[in-house]
Amino acid sequence: MTLYAITLLIWSVGTGFALYQNWLVRMVDHTACTLAYLNATTITPAIWPSLLKGNLFLLAYACAGVSVVSAMFFYLYRLSHQLINAQTDSRHDTLTGLHNRRALDEQLPLLLRHSQREQSPLTLLFIDIDHFRLFNERYGHESGDVALQAVAEALASVCQRPRDFICRWGGEEFVAVLPQTDSQAAEELAQRMLQSVRDLRLHVAGHSSPQLTISIGHITTTISPHTHNEDLIGAADQAMLQAKHRGRNQSVMAQTATHPRNTLITCDREKT
């Protein structure tokens, strides 16, 4: 509803601003034509002071009206841009610049419906930075923020198609949704993500360049009416935990999105 309200406000301001500009141009044209007509008539220069004096209130009223209308439209125009920026900020993570979990909640159902309509495969990847808690304890939280930004940039560099979606799920976890991506392409993209993070060289003051790795769980499926957001995210999350259990720095593919906790080995959740 908020997005619809903002869209309606922007449309109203834009339409009103266009009408206002059209009205202002027409008023200027009419004024110019009137002045040209008066100059062409037999009105002598001596009559102009009395003519202006008799219409001074009308001129002042017209100027005040133009000023008020102009101020109102410029205020609404600025307000609409502020609302757009606020809406954009609410859907992005301030640290990494990626979409946030709220944006995923809004976008994933749309991608699922589009995939179901086209009957094309859709891949979801759940990504976690390995030993990130230990990284923060050793190098400090400021370096941890730098690491999060670097990993986010590396992951985003792999998801570059127009409809690819990647967000920060929370903490050191990320989620990527890739429409029209089969299981083979998903594994290739996961390997590219793993390598792009391995290639990162962070500059941490007083320490040698630390190496980061990630663990990835991914699932590829053709969406059915019975597929839910939680099924895909839960299956990819459990596959990521399997990657952790197998030694980290690798990817694991989930087999199905139906009852993921029954089809995957459940591992104890580890945040490191």
Asked whether the beta carbons of 19 and 73 are under 8 A apart, the reply is no
User: What is the extent of the structural domain holding 15?
Assistant: 2-90
- In this structure, are 227 and 137 located in the same domain? yes
User: Has residue 272 been placed in a domain?
Assistant: no
Which whole number is the average pLDDT over 123-144?
94
Half-sphere exposure of 235 (CA within 13 A, CB side): 21
Which of 56, 90, 124 finishes a domain? 90
- In this structure, are 77 and 105 located in the same domain? no
- In this structure, are 257 and 209 located in the same domain? yes
Q: Which of 227, 265, 239 is nearest to 183 (CA)?
A: 239
- In this structure, are 153 and 194 located in the same domain? yes
Query: In this predicted model, what pLDDT tens digit does every residue of 110-133 receive, in sequence order?
Result: 999 999 999 999 999 999 999 999
* Structure tokens that stand for 79 in this block: 């307000």
Asked whether the beta carbons of 84 and 10 are under 8 A apart, the reply is yes
- In this structure, are 157 and 67 located in the same domain? no
- In this structure, are 74 and 119 located in the same domain? no
Per-residue pLDDT band at 254 (split at 50, 70, 90): very high
Who contacts 243 (Cβ-Cβ below 8 Å, separation ≥6)?
215, 216, 217, 250, 251, 252
User: Has residue 118 been placed in a domain?
Assistant: yes
Alpha helices, DSSP H, located in the chain = 2-40, 47-54, 56-90, 101-118, 132-139, 141-158, 183-198, 229-245, 260-263
Half-sphere exposure of 81 (CA within 13 A, CB side): 5
User: Has residue 270 been placed in a domain?
Assistant: no
Is the pLDDT at 18 greater than 50? The verdict is yes
Max mean pLDDT among 23-32, 60-69, 207-216 falls in 207-216
- In this structure, are 113 and 19 located in the same domain? no
- In this structure, are 108 and 238 located in the same domain? yes
Is the pLDDT at 216 greater than 90? The verdict is yes
Compute the mean pLDDT over every residue in the chain, rounded to the nearest whole number.
78
Active-site annotation, residues: 172
Query: Residue 238, Cα to own-chain centre: how many angstroms?
Result: 27
Backbone angles phi, psi at 126, to 5 degrees: -110, 125
- In this structure, are 79 and 108 located in the same domain? no
- In this structure, are 66 and 147 located in the same domain? no
- In this structure, are 126 and 157 located in the same domain? yes
In angstroms, the CA 183 to CA 170 distance is 25
User: Has residue 11 been placed in a domain?
Assistant: yes
The structural domain count of the chain equals 2
Query: In this predicted model, what pLDDT tens digit does every residue of 63-95 receive, in sequence order?
Result: 776 677 677 766 666 766 555 555 555 789 999
User: Has residue 85 been placed in a domain?
Assistant: yes
- In this structure, are 20 and 154 located in the same domain? no
Which of 90, 121, 142 finishes a domain? 90
pTM of structure: 0.68
Which of 90, 114, 138 finishes a domain? 90
